[in-house]
A = this chain, B = another copy of it.
Amino acid sequence: MNQDYIKADNWSIIEEGFDQEMVKSSESLFSIGNGAMGQRANFEESYSGPTFQGSYIAGVYYPDKTRVGWWKNGYPEYFAKVLNAPNWIGINVLVDGETLDLFKCTRVEEFRRELSMKEGWYQRSFSATLQNGVTIKAKITRFLSLDLDELGAIKYDIQVVNNDAEITFIPYLDSGITNEDSNWDDKFWNTTSVSSKGNRAFIEAHTMKTNFGTCTFMEAQLFHEGKKIEITPSETKEETFIGHSYPHHVKKGETLSLHKFGGYTVSTNHKAKELIKAADSVISEAIEIGFEALLEKQKKAWHAIWQMSDIAIEGDVKAQQGIRFNIFQLNQTYLGKDSRLNIGPKGFTGEKYGGSTYWDTEAYCIPFYMATKDHKVARSLLKYRYEHLEKAIENAQKLGFSNGAALYPMVTMNGEECHNEWEITFEEIHRNGAIAFAIYNYYRFTGDYSYIPEMGLEVLIGIARFWHQRANYSESKEKYVILGVTGPNEYENNVNNNWYTNYLAKWCIEYTIEQLQKVKDGYPDDYARIIGHTYLTSNETDLWKDVAENMYFPFSEKYNVFLQQDGFLDKELITVDNLDKSQRPINQKWSWDRILRSPYIKQADILQGFYLFEDHFTVEELQRHFDFYEPFTVHESSLSPCVHSIQAAKLDRMEQAYKFYLRTSRLDLDDYNKEVEEGLHITSMAGTWMSVVEGFGGLRILEDKLSFTPRIPKGWKSYSFKINFRNRILKVIVTKEETRFKLEGSEQMSIRLNGQRLELRPHEEISA
């Protein structure tokens, strides 16, 4: 943890001072993205110190051959790696012939980074003295355009401070890049052409195996004291590299600027043969508009996003900065424009984990996107799973299931499983339940039932079939049991009767049966189509029902709580506060067997179930389970604090709720887990949003209406957020004294506040 590293600020992420040790962490924190591509905050100029280079294109992956110590039947042969893409940001800078490299400069001062979350740009400035004695000041501004999402732009200003100097900018493209986490040191990219056309350059490269075609492109413009210099650059061309050289003599005190436009055109959006042509047209448009005007458009586009998705907090800058950082990163990662994409756990900020899609999407991200975007975005995420249904059925077949049972992968890029730890790949099957729940949740929130007859019911049938087959009847318990699973708490492996998994299984079956009836009644054509190809019979659904009705749930009479799994009470039940601090985090200090046999919980497990199915349990039951389990919870998953924050708020334990809130919202900014250099925790950021809106705001959908039970942390003056509920936009402002509502649009709306009905009329602010 490093609480003072990032300066507190309402709207920006700011680093001051140059610390070589922090370069990799800052590269993560200052990452930028526009949903279609993204990149770590690598320096444009040369840097010979420790760095983790990363540029990523949404949806472009490589099936790296799996490497495991001991192979188990059923492991996937390939792991879909998030691919480090060709570098277009590079600008080598020569100062009187010496390469600018902050690692080698004799002095670096006034180093500052700022990521403007409000406006969507990243700026770096510093003063540096090179080994040749020349001192320069630099200011570099960079953004990835939201409007032209194949385009990025960089403005690199250099002022010569103590001398006249010859400055040479060498903007370049480089496709000779590798992944840090390659399993077999395979070459992932094959470069097929390197070319120039005046000030433009192009590198065509395609990925091996998956054959995604890309054209990486650039064009640069040189300005001396703001005046454009027409210059034909000299070219350096290699097999996977092209650089253009822009030398210019600059007098002491003068500024030389390079505007570089670059980016990618990709065969998923263009014909493979027309990638250069498409790139050419993007550059022409960019040049036509120009850097400054593009930046203005960028600010406007981000303004529009914030209009809808901002959460404003008064009285607590760090809390404010935290939530905005989370919302900003979610929007940088996924904007919902393309149903082939999803929300990778590290977004465009690192390679770790690979794949783009985890159960995080359904369990944590969908609520954020539903409430802050058009409902099509959430629908697009659901459609993604529908499109992978065939592969989920194949995946289940590989593991011995039949008859259309579907097991969605733990990690995927294209619908195929690509993870290979048996205790997770084969056993962390609750992910299936999160997908079914998201279908339910989507309809509950948006009121758009159409997804279910059109697509969702088939997904539900595959999932219900899986649960039916995965459970088995225990003669000894006279109940159905689910053996050998890993619950959300991954600090238990291969356990029997994980309560959360069993509960989801039962619920999935019941919900599917309900939806079958509803579709049969209301959408007979869809029903006929679906029954026609799933061959579902009432015989089969009777068998499902038997499983659901007779599911086993481990329970302790003594503590009057459900047990996380069979045998939980055999553990040494020493709470976390009795654990020596030197032993934590246990995932770094303890061997795996010790973690497994301990009672310590990585992330909400039973409490995750209580979160999803809140209305199935009383507050008193929640309190009992919270009091029993939270003391054993080490929250070593980024997905844990948000759910606990929501539950603590519901129990009116606002100090605890606030502590959890800070941990989830500033997880990366304060580097709680000492690993931010590997990239950001994107999916848990949606959990932070939930902890404000659902936790503090108490947002629920009750009887088709929004309902709030607002609470406010002690140190806050107020907080506010907006909700897009069924195409009506509601702004909610919570202060210590009251809650105010402002409804946009033209229709009125009925809500509940602390259980009381409230009628809202458009453009009228109501306080209560």
- State the A residues within 8 Å of B (CB): 66-70, 72-74, 398-400, 420-422, 426-427, 472-477, 481, 483-484, 493-497, 556, 558, 566-567, 569-573, 587-594, 596-597
Contacts and interface: CB of A to CB of B under 8 A. Distances in A.
A69 B72 contact: no
B588 A73 contact: yes
Contacts of A495: 494
Contacts of A594: 399-400
A421 B422 CA distance: 11
Candidate in A66, A400, A570 with the most chain B CB atoms within 10 angstroms: A570
Given A73-B591, A593-B484, A474 B566 contact: no
Nearest to A421: B70
Shortest beta-carbon contacts, A-B, top 8: A74-B591, A426-B593, A68-B69, A484-B597, A476-B569, A72-B592, A474-B570, A483-B597
Given A477-B570, A566-B567, A591 B399 contact: yes
Nearest to A497: B570
Given A74-B591, A426-B591, A496-B567, A420 B484 contact: no
A596 B400 contact: no
Contacts of A587: 73
A567 to B, nearest CB: 5
Contact of A476 (B69, B427, B497, B570): B570
A587 B73 CA distance: 8
B589 A73 contact: yes
B69 A592 contact: no
Contacts of A592: 72-74, 422, 426
Contacts of A571: 472, 474, 483
A426 B493 CA distance: 14
Contacts of A426: 591-593
30 contacts: A67-B67, A67-B69, A68-B69, A69-B69, A69-B421, A70-B420, A70-B421, A72-B591, A72-B592, A73-B587, A73-B588, A73-B591, A73-B592, A74-B592, A398-B591, A399-B591, A399-B594, A400-B594, A422-B593, A427-B593, A472-B572, A474-B569, A475-B573, A476-B556, A476-B569, A484-B596, A496-B567, A497-B570, A566-B566, A567-B567
A421 B423 CA distance: 12
A701 to B, nearest CB: 36
Given A74-B591, A476-B558, A477-B570, 9 more contacts: A69-B69, A73-B587, A399-B593, A483-B567, A483-B570, A483-B596, A493-B493, A494-B494, A494-B596
A73 B476 CA distance: 37
Contacts of A567: 483, 496, 566-567
Contacts of A476: 556, 558, 569-570
A496 B474 CA distance: 18
A420 B592 CA distance: 11
Copies of this chain, count: 2
A400 B592 CA distance: 10
Contacts of A421: 69-70
A397 to B, nearest CB: 10
Given A427-B593, A591-B400, A572 B70 contact: no
Contacts of A472: 570-572, 597
A191 B409 CA distance: 49
Contacts of A570: 472, 474, 476-477, 481, 483, 496-497, 566
A211 B386 CA distance: 58
A470 to B, nearest CB: 9
A556 B400 CA distance: 30
Contacts of A422: 592-593
Contacts of A66: 69
Given A68-B69, A69-B69, A571-B483, A593 B475 contact: no
Nearest to A589: B73
A570 B590 CA distance: 31
A481 B572 CA distance: 10
B73 A590 contact: yes
A467 to B, nearest CB: 14
Given A558-B476, A592-B74, A69 B494 contact: no
A708 to B, nearest CB: 42
Nearest to A559: B476
Nearest to A593: B426
Contacts of A67: 67, 69
A335 to B, nearest CB: 32
A585 B96 CA distance: 72
Given A69-B68, A569-B475, A571-B472, A593 B74 contact: yes
Contacts of A399: 591, 593-594
A505 to B, nearest CB: 14
